Structure 1
Amino acid sequence: MSSDKPIYFKGLNGIRAIASLLVVIWHTDRFVSLFGVIPKGFYNTGMASRAVDIFFVLSGFLITYLLFAEKEKTGTINFKKFYLRRVYRIWPIYYIITFLTLILMHFEIIPKVNYALESTVLYIFMLANVAYALKIAITSINPLWSIGVEEQFYLIWPHIIKRASNYLKVFIWFYLAVLIVKIVCFKLFSVKMPSLVSFFYHWRLNIMALGAMGAYLVFNKKKILSLVYRKEIQLLAWGILLYSCLVKPIHFYTIIDSEINSIFYLIIILNVATNSKTLISLENKVFNFIGQISYGIYIYHLTVIYVLVYLFKGVGINYFLVHILTLLITIVVAKLSYRYIEIPFLKIKKKFAVVESSNVKQ
């Protein structure tokens, strides 16, 4: 990549598109019963959760690569600029959907919840994953739990990149430490402290660290990438993703299923983004469009479902029509959000870039 151009990885919008569409489709199947329609039941496979893991791997990969580039360029990490970039990218529509939800709850368009005050405080402080673990989350903004996890990752990760020297060793130990904590909690506290177990089960910082390992391999052009790029490895990874969508994600042991599946997601990301001979290219206009607005799609889709439930109260509606309306309206809302809310903040975010990046080809 040329140093005078923004860092751009081809196909990452395609990854974002796939992950966001999987979340919407699987969540729609879960909540279609609110319309009085019988769900098909494929939500129960857990693929929506695996789709969020795709986002985690991708985020860990991209953030770490950019931090590597910044440290190489300047010799350090500018924490202030890093956190301001995250604020301008994540906070605007996070808080918009949070406060919009409170308004919709007030008018009973979205059902009111118990512990509303406690939940609201946790959401305001970006601890949506804590609300989720305590089972006091607001259902229409349940997906915000993953934003809480990402924000907690961002709190510590630039400090690790700045201070570490043997990156791969640090990443592996970090990955294992989080995994061990998850397993210990699962083994010891499943009955007595289920909220703690839920918190650490969803606290997938190690999945983001897995993405960081991928960034290390790419940034340092490690020879092991030649193995990752092999056709049979690509086919295996894509085959597992396809099987996960059509049947169910591969399952060995609940507490480590994210870790196992995410290895194959990383293989897909590395090939799509960095392999000139990738078997499957996700670089096209449709995926680029959906990928650009994927954050909004992820944030808004459940609210769209609940608003549709309110509007279609007492009106018969077809299962597939629910899916079509949910997807189309979510895309329209996300596009408007991107155009009129996110882009203005992204322009401000760009002012704090030490290493410029882009989600569109220059």
Structure 2
Amino acid sequence: MKKRYFHSIDSLRFFAFLKVYLLHLPIQGDFPIFSFLKSGGGIGVSFFFVLSGFLISYLLIFEKVKKNRINLKKFFFRRALRIWPLYFLMVIIVFIIPFDFKEKIGFHMVGGGYDLDWKYSFTFLENYKMLLADQFPKTTPITVFWSLCIEEHFYLLWMISLFIIPIKHVLKFLFLCIFISWEARAHETSIFNNSLIVSNDLFTNLDYFAIGGLLAYFIVTDYQKIIDFIENISVQIKRLMVIVVVLVVVFQKYILPNEYGTILYILRPTIISLLFCILISIFLPENSSIKIKSKLLSFLGVRGYGLYIYHIIFIHCGFQYCITENIKIDNWLVIGAFIIFTLGGTIILSSISYKYFEMPFLAFREKKYFN
């Protein structure tokens, strides 16, 4: 048994980021194409959750099957060295920058929001602060840190659960997690009487991770059978499946309307998770007939963590500049310039951050906890 490298995953990660980026673009005026592309941008985060569920479950289940145990210390520090440095760097910067300067450059969200509380920001509990306040934090990039908090909670739950649970019961655990997510979404209104911030905790998002985990379980325990099955699907059918997933993502507003309090609201994340797992599985075989071969997309996907954190800074600062200079983002020239500045700046800063800040921690992780 050997660990597998899954090609095309990094490229898919970049496409998910791009959906989130489009959601946050503050386009003004009547631009139906942008309204259409922006709608349901949160599905990009949903893909991140499913992908994390798959990759993290794969690592943990693989280790459990191969060694009959999980090294909790090794796993914890591997994840910490990937997530914590950039996370805490941003939190520290946000807390030490003077209030007036943050206001001037656009670090404060236009339209308000709640003031940061270090007890939540430094302990990966910002998502619960958002639920309690029923609004976003006013300071960027903390506005998007809710998903990082959920990811951190997922790591803790998964490593402890899979450490304790025998392999023969892992499937039951994963299905239990799916059921818990249904119950959590069905009863969240009785806990948080919110109108803006909903489904912002681990339990209401648990099926994303669990369904990604199901795919990982079958890949680890019956790799060749699963891969043979995927490879025997015709190229035409695979392409059709990819098109179906893309159409659901693009037209989700109409195909899977997110109407709060309905049965579809409860089941929608599960359906989306299954579709994303189908998409991921198509690219799993090493000699897959369908690959995303772009080195550029792979390069950008590897830097997806930085892209996710930095993009909102550029967008907020760019929007603040437009407000200060009385520039309306309501024509194609300004929109194009805004995208070049925000997306281009995000890519440049993410690349610099990855090479000079994140990579030293990853190199240490490789030396200390991989060998």
2:20 to 8, 20, 23: 23
User: Structure 1: which amino acid aligns with 2:288?
Assistant: K
Instruction: Write the distance in 2 (CA, Å) between the matches of 1:21 and 1:291.
Output: 10
In structure 2, what is the Cα distance between the partners aligned to 1:104 and 1:258?
Answer: 40
Which residues of structure 1 form unaligned runs of 5+?
357-362
Q: Does 1:217 align with 2:208?
A: no
User: Is contact 2:186-2:266 (8 Å) kept?
Assistant: yes
Q: What CA deviation, in whole Å up to 9, does each residue of 1:280-318 have, x standing for no partner?
A: 312331121111111100111010112223444316461
Is the 8 Å Cα contact of residues 50 and 208 (structure 2) preserved in structure 1? yes
Is the 1:65–1:212 contact (alpha carbons within 8 Å) kept by the matching residues of 2?
yes
1:353 aligns with 2:358: no
Partner of 1:74: 67
What secondary structure, in the 3-state scheme, does the structure 2 residue paired with 1:274 have? coil
1:300 is aligned, of 310, 313, 332, to 310
Q: Quick one: which of 242, 246, 264 aligns to 2:246?
A: 242
Deviation of 1:78 after TM superposition, in Å, equals 1.3
Q: Match of 2:45, SS?
A: helix
Listed one character per residue, the Cα deviations across residues 63-91 of structure 1 (whole Å, up to 9, x for unaligned) are: 11111222233321111111111111001
Q: Among 15, 28, 32, which residue is 2:27 paired with?
A: 32
**In the TM superposition, what whole-angstrom CA distance separates every residue of 1:19-70 from its partner, at most 9, and x where no partner exists?**
1122112222xx234xxx6663236521x21111111111111111111222
Is the CA contact 1:129–1:144 (under 8 Å) kept in the aligned structure 2?
A: yes
Q: Is the 8 A contact 2:219 2:226 kept in 1?
A: no
TM-score of the two chains, using structure 2 as the length reference? 0.82
Aligned to 2:119: 121
* Residue matched to 1:8: 5
* 1:284 corresponds to which of 276, 287, 294: 294
Give the TM-score normalised by structure 1. 0.84
| Matched residue SS, 1:273 | coil
Quote the Cα distance in structure 2 between the aligned partners of 1:353 and 1:176. 34
- 1:157 to 1:205, Cα distance in 2 relative to 1, 3 A: same
Q: Which range is displaced more, 255-264 or 342-351?
A: 255-264
Matches within 5 A, 1:58-137: 58-102=51-95, 103=97, 105-107=99-101, 108=103, 109=105, 110-111=107-108, 115-118=114-117, 120-133=118-131, 134=133, 135-137=135-137
Aligned residue in 1 for 2:209: 208
Counterpart position of 2:261: none
2:256 to 251, 255, 258: 251
Q: Does the 8 Å contact 1:237/1:265 carry over to 2?
A: no
Larger relative contact order (CA 8 Å, sep ≥ 6):
1
What displacement does 1:127 show? Answer: 1.3
Q: 1:12 to 1:309 in 2, by over 3 A?
A: same
CA distance in 1: counterparts of 2:282 and 2:320, whole angstroms: 43
Structure-2 residue corresponding to 1:185:
188
Q: Distance in 1 between matches of 2:161 and 2:55?
A: 15
Would the aligned equivalents of 2:37 and 2:250 in 1 still touch at CA under 8 Å? no
How far residue 167 of structure 1 moved from its aligned partner, in angstroms, is 1.6
CA deviation string 1:171-223 (max 9, x = no partner): 1112212222212335x567x45588543588412211111100011112264
Is contact 2:150–2:201 with CA below 8 Å preserved after alignment? no
Say whether residues 1:45 and 2:46 are aligned partners: no
Aligned-residue offset at 1:256: 2.8
Q: Write out per-residue CA displacement over residues 130-166 of structure 1, whole angstroms, 9 at most, x where no aligned residue.
A: 1332324235322211111110011110122122232
Would the aligned equivalents of 1:174 and 1:209 in 2 still touch at CA under 8 Å? yes
What count of residue pairs does the alignment treat as equivalent? 342
Q: Which runs of 5+ in 2 are unaligned?
A: 258-263
Per-residue displacement from partner, 1:340-361 (whole Å, max 9, x unpaired)?
111001012223435x7xxxxx
CA 1:114–1:271 in 2, change beyond 3 Å: closer, same or farther? closer
Superposition CA RMSD, Å: 2.8
Identical-residue share of aligned pairs (%): 29
